[in-house]
Amino acid sequence: MNCKATINWQTIAILTGIGFFILSLCLQAQQDFRERAALTLQAASEDDERNLYVLTAKLVQGVDREATLEELLSFTDDHVMGGMFYAYQMIGTYLHTKDFLPDELRSEIHRAYRDRTMYRGDTENHWVMYYTGLYLAAQTWPGLDGSEWFNGKSSTENLIEAEGWLREWMHITITIGQGEFDSPTYLMTFLSPMLLLYEFAADPAMEKSARMILDYLFADYAVKNLRGNYGGGHSRDYPQDIINPLTAPSVPWAWLYFGEPDFIPWDNPMGEPRHSGWNIVFAALSSYRLPEIIYNIGTDRSTPYVLTETKRTRNIIRFAGQRNLPVYKYTYMTEDYVLGSLHGGILQPIQQHTWDVTYVSNKPNNTLFTLHPYYSGKELAMFFPEQKKFLADEVDRYHKVYTDPDKWNASSPYEQTMQYKNTIIVLYNIEPGANHPHIDGFFPKTLDDRIELDNRWIAARHGDVYIAFYPLKEYEWIEEEVNYRWRSYDLQNGVIVEVGRKLDYGSFDDFIKHFSAASVEVHITEETLRVIYKNRNDDILDFTYGGDRLVNDELVDFSDYGLFDSPYLQSERGSGIITIRYGNKKRILDFNKSTITEIE
């Protein structure tokens, strides 16, 4: 009896321990924003990285104050570099910490806006940072003439110019979409300045606009967030983040606002991020709170949904008849994976990521995709004013992989996609003579299975997520450090990918059995590249390269796409009104009237 009783108590103790452990995990995942913000500030203040975010955290937390002030002073020294990052970060640091700053240091920071050239840059994120910095600096030091500013303009002129651009950017963003949309890397360069603007704009109208655009940006992000993974196609991203999504710079933001992923981002088990992530310091200090409805949209994955969107290209300066061509996005979100795509072609220079399937995993490299590693001076000359014969070399200086045949980010004029829910067809019609005339696929080694079936289908599995991958042409495998590179050399080429879950498809054996028998119709002529595929749900996808996209004989018409269309986000292009829904609740952002309406 005693023995039995002992076992029972032991069992109870173990179960209780497990229970507490699970509970603690749940609690950790549910830590509210304030707790995560406090953790962020504490960790940043203890870091020895030399940047303005860390210095801000140290000053706010009262860590090494004298040394920190000295360090901050060194950021104002007679250095040529201003730049757009500096322009907004320095004023952000100043405004968050001015109560701790001696007068002399305040003057030195002020002087930096006179003596340093704040370079405006050449991208959307550059200008957001530059003009936010300029707006807040001009507001902070009003009434000065041009001799007190780096650009020779008075405080009033700078404030007017900055406000003019910021309002124009907001208008474009909420009517035809962002140009640098859905970028796991550059997300912070929009959120962080807008959080500053919301916090410190003295003009109530600008503060309100910042609040609304923050709701917009967070909602746009939330609807593609899958446990910290930024799902779907991206306008711009770096190879490391593309092949290892949970190390992307957006991850700390997902953690801070959605509590996902469930690990502390500065102690990332998925690998070493490119950036420390301390750019969330300004967010941690902000009084902006994510509306509950956006939090719920970002975290509730109980019901699969389709999201279609319109974004825009970056400003095109040459070789097109339109400044901002529309970009059509399709995203299919489930609890376990997200499959998303851009419609294809050159939509962004250098860093485009056209499509992928990314699945929930506690292992790194949880994604699979293909691309054509195209590069050309002409592509770059579409977006940059320098001469096209030099641009590829110039871009290589900053983005080291641009001309690399093995790169993992690219926009190609020879790539087009068609997606319907869990199935995507990606076609490549590569012109003879094009640079790097092959297509590559990323298959992570962390997949549990990667099986080549007799009928050319490749069946892959990670946990309960299954991926069927059909190459139209012959291919080879190249083993690399974290992945197997699938490579195919035919110029008229493509893949069909169907993603499933145990929930929908049963066992992986059943999945394999199905695809062992699956058939694909491919019609290739000299003029057209056409694929007809019936997926397991009996949906028939009919896609001709450069031609029609048909689903079950119905034409997919991109002109029907709104700015957003999904159960959670809706907006007609050009309307200026964004409706955010969750359950019975609605939050309507009306940028025309500058109102936020909440409806239960």
Partner 1 sequence: MKFRYAYLVTILILLPSMLLTGKGEEDNYSVYCAVLFSAPDEASMLGYAHPARSVGLFRREIDGSWHNVHHPNLFSYGLGYSHHNDTFRLYIAGGNGLHRSSDDGKSWKVLTGWTTEDILSVAPHPYDSTIVYVSTPFGVFKTSDDGQTWREKMEGMERWFVQKVVIDIDSAETVYAAAEDDLYKTNNGGITWEALGVGVPQILEIVQHPQNNDILLAGTEDHGVYFSHDGGETFMPGNGFPETAAYAIGFSGDGTRVYAGGYETGLWKSTDNGETWKLIWDDDSFDAIYAITVNPYDQKHIIVGTNGAGLYESTDGGVTWQHAGLYGAHVQQIKFVPGS
User: What residues line the site for partner 1 (CB under 8 A)?
Assistant: 79-83, 116-122, 127, 131, 146-147, 150-153, 161, 164-165, 168, 315, 317-319, 321, 323, 385-390, 394, 397
Distance, in Å, from the CA atom of 534 to the CA atom of 519, rounded to the nearest integer, reads 8
Does residue 151 contact residue 105 with C-beta atoms inside 8 Å?
no
Angle, CA of 452, 455 and 459, to the nearest 5°: 35
Q: What are phi and psi of 522, to 5 degrees?
A: -125, 125
> Which C-beta is closer to partner 1: that of 83 or that of 232?
83
- Return the number of other C-beta atoms located less than 10 Å from residue 517's C-beta: 10
Query: At its nearest, how many Å lie between partner 1 and the CB of residue 61?
Result: 31
Task: Quote the CA–CA distance of 398 and 394 in Å, as a whole number.
Answer: 7
Nearer to partner 1 among residue 147 and residue 584 (C-beta): 147
Nearer of residues 86 and 186 to partner 1, judged by Cβ: 86
Q: How far is the CB of 393 from partner 1 (least distance, A)?
A: 9
Rank residues 143 and 385 by Cβ distance to partner 1 and give the closer one.
385
**Orientation angle between helical segments 83-97 and 124-140, nearest 10 degrees:** 40
Shortest distance in whole angstroms from residue 164 CB to partner 1:
6
Residue spans of beta strands (DSSP E) within 183-321: 225-226, 229-230, 305-312
Work out how close the CB of 76 gets to partner 1 at its nearest, in angstroms, rounded to a whole number: 15
Q: Of 53, 78, 58, give the one whose Cα is nearest residue 68.
A: 58
Complex with partner 1: residue 128 or 418, whichever CB lies closer: 128
Q: How far is the CB of 24 from partner 1 (least distance, A)?
A: 48
CB of 50 to partner 1, least distance (A): 16
Strand 549-551 relative to strand 554-555, pairing:
antiparallel
Shortest Å distance, C-beta 77 to partner 1? 11
Query: Shortest distance, CB of residue 81 to partner 1, whole angstroms?
Result: 6
Q: What is the DSSP letter of 439?
A: E
Neighbours of 567 (CB within 10 A): 14
Name which of 274 and 389 has its Cβ closer to partner 1: 389
Q: Cβ distance 529 to 544 under 8 Å?
A: yes
Nearest approach, Cβ of 148 to partner 1 (angstroms)? 11
User: CA 394, CA 298: separation in Å to the nearest integer?
Assistant: 39
In the bound state with partner 1, the residue whose beta carbon lies nearer, of 52 and 57, is 52
Whichever of 164 and 546 has its CB closer to partner 1, that residue is 164
Looking at the Cβ atoms of 77 and 510, the one nearer to partner 1 is: 77
* C-beta of 130 vs 561, nearer to partner 1: 130
Smallest gap from Cβ 318 to partner 1, in A, equals: 5
Which of residues 102 and 152 has its CB atom nearest to partner 1 in the complex? 152
Q: Min. distance of Cβ 398 from partner 1 in angstroms? A: 10
CB-CB neighbours of 353 under 10 Å: 30
Q: Which two tokens stand for residue 301?
A: 């994955």
For partner 1, give the closer residue by CB, 146 or 345: 146
Structure tokens at 584: 């019975």
Q: What is the 3-state secondary structure (H, E, C) of 494-549?
A: EEEEEEEEHHHHCCHHHHHHHHHHCCEEEEECCCCEEEEEECCCCCEEEEECCCCE
**Do 417 and 429 touch, CB atoms closer than 8 A?**
no
User: Residue 250: CB partners within 8 Å, gap ≥ 6?
Assistant: 184, 185, 187, 188, 221, 230
Q: In terms of Cα–Cα distance, which of 86, 99, 77, 78 is closest to 52?
A: 86
Give me the DSSP letters along 73-90.
Answer: HHTTSS-SB-HHHHHHHH
Least Å distance between CB 74 and partner 1?
14
The H-assigned helical ranges of 445-598 are 502-505, 508-517
By the 8 A CB rule, do 406 and 440 touch?
yes
Helix (H, G, I), strand (E, B) or coil at 206: helix
Report yes or no: 182 and 230 within 8 Å, Cβ to Cβ: yes
Sign of CA dihedral 138, 142, 148, 152: positive
Residues 6+ positions from 510 with CB-CB distance below 8 Å? none
Pairing, β 569-571 against β 476-479? unpaired
To the nearest whole angstrom, how small is the minimum distance from the Cβ of residue 135 to partner 1?
Answer: 12
Q: Which is nearer to partner 1, 157 or 590 (CB)?
A: 157
Q: Are 562 and 573 in contact (CB under 8 A)?
A: yes
